[in-house]
C-alpha cells in the first residue's frame, strides 16, 4: 500500500512538472511570435520589450535573440552584452560568437572581433567564414604570412572560391613569393576572366 502511494505521488509530480513545462513552452512561443511580428514591422523596440516581458537570464535562445534585436536597433553595447550571456551559457556554440561580431564590427572594435574569430576557430578549425574574415583582419595589419595560412585553408577546401583565392594571391605576393602569387592570379583569371585585381597583381610581378 505504501509503495502504491509513493508511485501515485511520483506520477502526479511528473504530470504537474510536464504541465508546467508545456505552459512555459506555450508562453515562450507566444512571446517569440509577437517579437517576430514586431521585428518584421521594423519595430525593434517593441520586439525587444516583448522578449523582456518573459526574460530569463538562463535562457540561451532569449539572450541570443535580444542580442540580434539590439543590434538591429543600433544598441550595440546592449547587443554585445546579450551575446556574451549566450556565449557563457553555451560556450561551444559558434552562432552567438558570429552574432557578437556584428555589433563589435559596428563599434569598430577589431581586436575583440579578432578574438571572437580565434575562439570560433578553436572550436571549429575549418570554419571558412571565420578563417576568411580573420585572414582579412590579419592581412590589413600587414601580417601577410599569417593571412596566407588562413586563406590557404579555404582554398584547399574550395579551390574555386574566388574571394579566398585572390586574397591568397595578394598575401603571397606581399610575402615575397611572386612565383606562387603568379600561379594564383592566373587561377583567379580562370574563375573570373579579365578580373581587374588579378590583372593588377600580375603587372607587379616581373
In a domain, 133, yes or no: yes
Q: Do 28 and 95 share a structural domain? A: yes
Whole-prediction pTM: 0.85
Q: Do 119 and 29 share a structural domain? A: yes
Model pLDDT, residue 28: 86
Boundary-marking domain end, from 108, 124, 140: 124
Q: What is the pLDDT of residues 117-158, one digit of tens each?
A: 999 999 999 999 999 999 999 999 999 999 999 999 999 999
Boundary-marking domain end, from 124, 144, 172: 124
Q: Do 150 and 54 share a structural domain? A: no
Boundary-marking domain end, from 90, 106, 124: 124
What is the spatial distance between Cα 133 and Cα 153, in angstroms, rounded to a whole number?
12
Q: Which domain holds residue 131?
A: 126-206
Q: Do 182 and 115 share a structural domain? A: no
Site of grid cell 603571397: 172
In a domain, 1, yes or no: no
Nearest-CA neighbor of 187 among 163, 157, 160? 160
Domain count, the chain: 2
Q: What is the pLDDT of residues 18-70, one digit of tens each?
A: 333 344 778 889 899 999 999 999 999 999 999 998 889 999 999 999 999 99
Q: Do 54 and 79 share a structural domain? A: yes
Q: Do 102 and 48 share a structural domain? A: yes
Model pLDDT, residue 2: 52
What is the spatial distance between Cα 131 and Cα 121, in angstroms, rounded to a whole number?
7
What is the domain-level CATH number for residue 196?
Answer: 1.25.40.10
Nearest-CA neighbor of 103 among 89, 87, 92, 90? 87
Q: Do 151 and 79 share a structural domain? A: no
In a domain, 46, yes or no: yes
Q: Do 205 and 161 share a structural domain? A: yes
Residue 16's pLDDT band, with cuts at 50, 70 and 90, is very low
Amino acid at each position: 500500500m505504501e509503495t502504491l502511494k509513493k508511485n501515485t505521488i511520483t506520477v502526479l509530480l511528473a504530470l504537474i512538472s510536464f504541465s508546467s513545462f508545456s505552459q512555459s513552452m506555450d508562453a515562450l512561443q507566444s512571446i517569440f511570435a509577437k517579437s517576430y511580428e514586431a521585428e518584421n514591422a521594423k519595430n525593434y523596440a517593441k520586439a525587444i520589450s516583448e522578449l523582456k516581458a518573459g526574460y530569463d537570464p538562463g535562457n540561451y535562445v532569449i539572450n541570443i535573440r535580444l542580442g540580434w534585436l539590439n543590434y538591429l536597433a543600433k544598441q550595440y553595447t546592449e547587443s554585445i552584452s546579450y551575446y556574451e550571456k549566450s556565449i557563457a551559457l553555451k560556450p561551444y556554440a559558434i552562432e552567438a560568437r558570429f552574432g557578437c561580431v556584428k555589433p563589435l564590427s559596428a563599434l569598430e572594435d577589431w581586436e575583440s572581433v579578432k578574438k571572437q574569430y580565434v575562439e570560433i576557430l578553436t572550436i571549429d578549425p575549418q570554419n571558412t567564414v571565420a578563417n576568411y574574415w580573420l585572414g582579412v583582419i590579419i592581412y590589413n595589419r600587414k601580417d601577410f604570412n599569417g593571412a596566407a595560412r588562413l586563406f590557404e585553408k579555404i582554398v584547399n577546401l574550395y579551390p574555386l572560391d574566388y574571394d579566398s583565392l585572390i586574397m591568397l594571391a595578394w598575401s603571397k605576393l606581399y610575402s615575397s613569393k611572386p612565383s606562387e602569387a603568379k600561379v594564383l592570379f592566373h587561377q583567379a583569371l580562370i574563375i573570373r576572366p579579365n578580373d581587374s585585381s588579378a590583372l593588377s597583381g600580375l603587372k607587379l610581378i616581373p
